[in-house]
């Protein structure tokens, strides 16, 4: 939203320079995206009238002009061609300094004296037009400083957050400046005094949907003269980015920008009948040609303003072209109403129509503003377009519900970290328009103004105190309160560890969203935004293999991918790890031909992570064909533990030597290596450091070993962290370990 400081001057006396205003608004939570200086503040540039134009005797492209500037005439040599005698143009006198540091001097041009320079818009800095002189209005006062026609102004481009619709007007920004102590109110500001009275009779207003439009007023003004707006109004609208249209439309835009209340004017003679307005939901099949010259199909979800036969406007969004105010209009119906955000937002989004009115109604307008804005607009219309108020109608209520919020001073001090005290809190809240009353020891009760719909809880008031007093008023403190480690922290650390280790193995991580489109997925979305993302995934398989196929299609011959993400079941969600490989294990090299990666590559990766290698599998041919993958691929999906795994801790390097012994256990052929490993661990030998399987022997003939038995040879390492072991200690530990293995496995030992 753009705000003119000159326009703000109608509401308040600003007691700070532009930089302080920008800083104050920024610290109050209103981002200033840009600052633009407009108008002309040049000394020595006046309005002149061209009296005569004659050819230069020594230059075909130049003319010699006699101009009148009120206090005498001047002789000017000019090269422009777009003017004639009688035109009024800017004249820079000798000594004037134009933008860019160009100083005007009396001089001879091709032998003829020139006592100044007539200027283009670009030379004055008011436009980009440099093709000719800036032609001023015919009623521009001769001899007046050019700054009277183009008064200097500063326009702020503000980013207003959606929860602060009260700031979408000059009055709203003026409130902020007063609350911040940078301005004081003017006594006779726009919209404060009482305007023309309206007797709401003689015009029928029927609101069939009060839940969407709680208040609607219509005022009939006959005998209006539609024409060009005065310069001050056109200049203000142009400064903030609106194009002047005619005095009636410009007034509605002016009041919107002044007070924040949207409104609309209909040509009364184009309504049928001319004395009735109906606010209702649209009927199936109805259409409306809007002011943007587009035809819109409306339906039961849209609020329309209708006469007796058809929709004439989209309520709160845009007016209709057939009933628009034109130069032929002699009677208007002025609509000032309040529409609730949900209905306007729904229509604006569906039809893709965004206007200044819908922007404000979507965020919520002040319920108490309808009558005040109506009165302000009528006063301007009667002043600038003439006419008389002949009828009116209203429906609904514009009364704002009262809201009272208690605030505890101790609570504010606890949240803000500083005790501002009762007096400062009261002054801050009264500064934003609250009515503050005592509510017992250390507490106040605040009656919230109608324009602050965002203030609903005690914490909202505390935030306002922080905004007005300034965040810099909160002292800096070093507060050390480390949070204890939680299972979620440990889970995160473990997952990050897996990510780093997989990256070290040559795998690339892919990031996938939680939504997919597999037939096995559940919880389908009722309004998916993107095709292919329509349901919560039950598996990572389809998404991961699609990425494999896309990489292969793009020419990445060797693919090693992993993804750690959540999958969703019936009422729960779990973390899973997906791994996939396809293509050769390395680029072609003279040292050896590449090998096609398979499930054993995944088994090795899972084993290195301490996860079950059995979960790796080869992708079947039908699935490969469906995905468009030529060649082979392997995939693994692992459900990760819910709680954090063992935390890795640093252990110093061993400084004492290790002693190794070999032991060969003879066990039934059906016993797996993992079971023997568990038996070693369950022995709980304190000196045991590592066990490594290095040989498996069996004899199908039964000559050296029974056919149903096998020999598993292990290298066993013993070490003490605090001393060098003796042979006696190692032998004792080794014998104790063998006893434990025999008891646990029922094994024999092979020498």
The whole-number pLDDT of residue 648 equals: 59
Average per-residue pLDDT in the chain?
Answer: 91
Which CA distances in Å does 717 have to 597, 655, 672, 689?
Answer: 34, 15, 21, 6
Q: Is the peptide bond before 129 cis (omega within 30 degrees of 0)?
A: no
State yes or no: pLDDT of 193 exceeds 80.
no
* CATH (residue range 487-639): 3.30.930.10
Which CA distances in Å does 144 have to 44, 88, 115, 150, 708?
Answer: 10, 11, 18, 11, 118
Query: pLDDT per residue over 344-367, tens digit each?
Result: 999 999 999 999 999 999 999 999
The tokens 């309004």 sit on which residue? 527
The whole-number pLDDT of residue 652 equals: 80
Query: pLDDT per residue over 198-235, tens digit each?
Result: 888 999 999 998 999 999 999 999 999 999 999 899 98
Distance CA 233, CA 237 (A): 6
The whole-number pLDDT of residue 522 equals: 65
Q: Which residues have C-beta within 8 Å of that of residue 213, sequence separation ≥ 6?
A: 207, 279, 303, 315, 316, 337, 338, 339, 340, 343, 396
The whole-number pLDDT of residue 521 equals: 64
Distance CA 256, CA 263 (A): 7
State yes or no: pLDDT of 524 exceeds 80.
no
Domain ranges of the chain: 2-39+153-185, 45-149, 204-396, 404-472, 487-639, 659-749
Q: Which residues have C-beta within 8 Å of that of residue 571, sequence separation ≥ 6?
A: none
Burial of 117: CB neighbours in 10 Å, binned 0-12, 13-18, 19+: buried
Read off the tokens for 33. 């995206």
Average pLDDT of the segment spanning 548-552 = 94
Query: pLDDT per residue over 298-350, tens digit each?
Result: 999 999 999 988 999 999 999 999 999 999 999 999 999 999 999 999 999 99
Order of strands, edge to edge, in the sheet holding 263-267?
263-267, 331-338, 215-222, 388-396
Give the whole-number percent of the chain exceeding pLDDT 70.
Answer: 98
The whole-number pLDDT of residue 32 equals: 94
| Domain pair 2-39+153-185 / 404-472, same fold | yes
The whole-number pLDDT of residue 479 equals: 67
At 530, the pLDDT band (50, 70, 90 cuts) reads confident
Give the whole-number percent of the chain exceeding pLDDT 90.
Answer: 72
Residue 78: Cβ within 10 Å count: 21
Which CA distances in Å does 645 have to 164, 491, 640?
Answer: 47, 7, 10
- What is the H or E stretch that residue 21 is in? helix 18-27
Q: Tell me the DSSP string of 228-246.
A: PPPHHHHHHHHHTT-----
Query: pLDDT per residue over 646-670, tens digit each?
Result: 555 677 888 899 999 999 999 999 9
Distance CA 277, CA 271 (A): 9
The end-to-end CA distance of the chain, in Å, is 90
Distance CA 311, CA 281 (A): 10
Show the 3-state SS of 40-55: CCCCCEEEEEEEEEEE
State yes or no: pLDDT of 679 exceeds 80.
yes
Read off the tokens for 652. 């110093």
Count of helix runs (H) and strand runs (E) in the chain: 19, 40
The whole-number pLDDT of residue 640 equals: 82
CATH topology assigned to domain 659-749: Alpha-Beta Plaits (3.30.70)
Q: What's domain 2-39+153-185's architecture?
A: 2-Layer Sandwich (3.30)
State yes or no: pLDDT of 495 exceeds 80.
yes
The whole-number pLDDT of residue 429 equals: 95
* CATH (residue range 404-472): 3.30.56.10
Order of strands, edge to edge, in the sheet holding 515-516?
515-516, 535-536, 522-524
State yes or no: pLDDT of 645 exceeds 60.
no
Q: What's domain 45-149's architecture?
A: Beta Barrel (2.40)
Residue 57: Cβ within 10 Å count: 10
The whole-number pLDDT of residue 101 equals: 87
Q: What's domain 204-396's architecture?
A: 3-Layer(bba) Sandwich (3.50)
Distance CA 349, CA 334 (A): 26
The whole-number pLDDT of residue 57 equals: 93
Query: pLDDT per residue over 414-427, tens digit each?
Result: 999 889 999 999 99
What SS3 class is residue 440? coil
Asked whether the CA dihedral 135, 140, 143, 149 is positive or negative, the reply is: negative
Single pTM value for the model? 0.65
Query: pLDDT per residue over 81-138, tens digit each?
Result: 999 999 999 999 999 999 888 999 999 999 999 999 999 988 888 877 778 999 998 8
Query: pLDDT per residue over 244-267, tens digit each?
Result: 999 999 999 999 999 999 999 999
Distance CA 94, CA 673 (A): 104
Read off the tokens for 551. 């990489």
Distance CA 278, CA 266 (A): 13
């Amino acid at each position: 939203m753009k705000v003119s400081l000159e326009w703000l001057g109608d509401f308040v006396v600003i007691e700070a320079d532009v930089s302080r205003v920008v800083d104050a608004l920024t610290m109050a939570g209103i981002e200033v995206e840009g600052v633009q200086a407009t108008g002309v503040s040049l000394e020595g540039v006046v309005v002149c009238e061209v009296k005569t134009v004659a050819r230069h005797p020594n230059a075909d492209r130049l003319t010699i002009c006699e101009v009148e500037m009120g206090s005498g005439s001047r002789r000017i040599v000019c090269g422009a061609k777009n003017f004639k005698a009688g035109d009024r143009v800017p004249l820079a006198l000798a000594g004037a300094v134009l933008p860019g540091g160009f100083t005007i001097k009396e001089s001879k041009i091709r032998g003829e004296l020139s006592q100044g320079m007539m200027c283009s818009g670009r030379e004055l800095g008011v436009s980009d037009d440099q093709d000719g002189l800036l032609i001023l209005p015919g009623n521009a006062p001769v001899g007046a400083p050019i700054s009277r026609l183009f008064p200097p102004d500063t326009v702020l481009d503000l980013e207003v957050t959606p929860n602060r619709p009260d700031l979408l007007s000059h009055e709203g920004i003026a409130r902020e400046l007063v609350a911040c102590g940078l301005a004081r109110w003017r006594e006779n500001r726009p919209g404060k005094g009482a305007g023309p009275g309206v007797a709401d009779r003689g015009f029928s207003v029927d609101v069939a949907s009060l839940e969407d439009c709680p208040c609607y007023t219509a005022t009939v003004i006959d005998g209006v003269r539609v024409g060009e707006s005065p310069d001050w109004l056109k200049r203000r609208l142009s400064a903030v980015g609106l194009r002047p249209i005619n005095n009636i439309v410009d007034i509605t835009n002016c009041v919107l920008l002044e007070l924040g209340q949207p409104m609309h004017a209909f040509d009364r003679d184009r309504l049928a009948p001319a004395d009735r307005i109906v606010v209702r939901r649209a009927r199936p099949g109805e259409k409306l040609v809007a002011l943007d010259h587009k035809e819109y199909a409306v339906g039961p979800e849209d609020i329309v303003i209708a006469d007796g036969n058809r929709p004439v406007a989209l309520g709160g969004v845009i007016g209709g072209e057939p009933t628009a105010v034109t130069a032929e209009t002699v009677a208007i119906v002025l609509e000032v109403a309040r529409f609730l955000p949900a209905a306007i937002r729904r229509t604006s989004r569906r039809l893709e129509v965004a206007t200044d009115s819908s922007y404000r109604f979507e965020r919520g307008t002040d319920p108490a503003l309808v009558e005040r804005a109506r009165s302000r607009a009528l006063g301007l219309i009667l002043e600038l377009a003439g006419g008389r108020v002949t009828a009116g109608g209203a429906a609904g209520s514009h009364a704002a519900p009262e809201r009272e919020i208690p605030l505890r001073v101790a609570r504010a001090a606890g949240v803000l970290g500083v005790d501002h005290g009762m007096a400062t809190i009261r002054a801050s809240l009264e500064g934003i328009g609250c009515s503050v009353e005592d509510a017992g020891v250390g507490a106040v009760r605040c009656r919230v103004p109608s324009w602050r719909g965002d203030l609903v809880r005690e914490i909202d008031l505390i935030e306002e105190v922080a905004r007005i007093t300034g965040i810099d008023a909160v002292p800096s403190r070093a507060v050390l309160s480390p949070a204890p480690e939680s299972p979620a922290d440990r889970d995160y650390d473990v997952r990050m560890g897996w990510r780093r280790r997989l990256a070290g193995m040559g795998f690339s991580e892919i990031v996938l969203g939680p939504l997919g489109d597999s037939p096995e997925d559940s919880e389908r979305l009722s309004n998916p935004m993107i095709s292919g993302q329509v349901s919560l995934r039950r598996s990572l398989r389809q998404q991961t293999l699609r990425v494999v196929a896309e990489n292969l299609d793009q020419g990445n011959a060797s693919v090693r991918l992993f993804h750690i993400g959540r999958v969703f079941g019936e009422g729960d969600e779990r973390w899973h790890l997906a791994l996939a490989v396809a293509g050769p294990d390395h680029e072609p090299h003279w040292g050896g031909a590449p090998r096609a990666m398979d499930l054993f590559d995944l088994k090795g990766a899972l084993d290195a992570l301490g996860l079950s290698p059995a979960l790796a599998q080869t992708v079947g041919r039908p699935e490969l064909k469906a995905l468009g993958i030529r060649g082979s691929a392997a995939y693994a999906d692992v459900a990760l533990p819910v709680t954090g795994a063992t935390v890795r801790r640093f252990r110093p390097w061993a400084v004492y030597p290790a002693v190794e012994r070999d032991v060969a256990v003879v066990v039934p052929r059906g016993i797996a290596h993992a079971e023997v490993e568990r038996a070693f661990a369950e022995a709980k030998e304190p000196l045991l450091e590592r066990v490594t399987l290095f040989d498996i022997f069996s004899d199908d003939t039964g000559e050296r070993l029974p056919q149903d038995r096998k020999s598993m040879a292990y290298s066993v390492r013993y070490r003490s962290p605090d001393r060098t072991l003796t042979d006696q200690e190692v032998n004792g530990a080794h014998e104790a370990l063998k006893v434990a293995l025999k008891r646990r496995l029922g094994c024999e030992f092979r020498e």
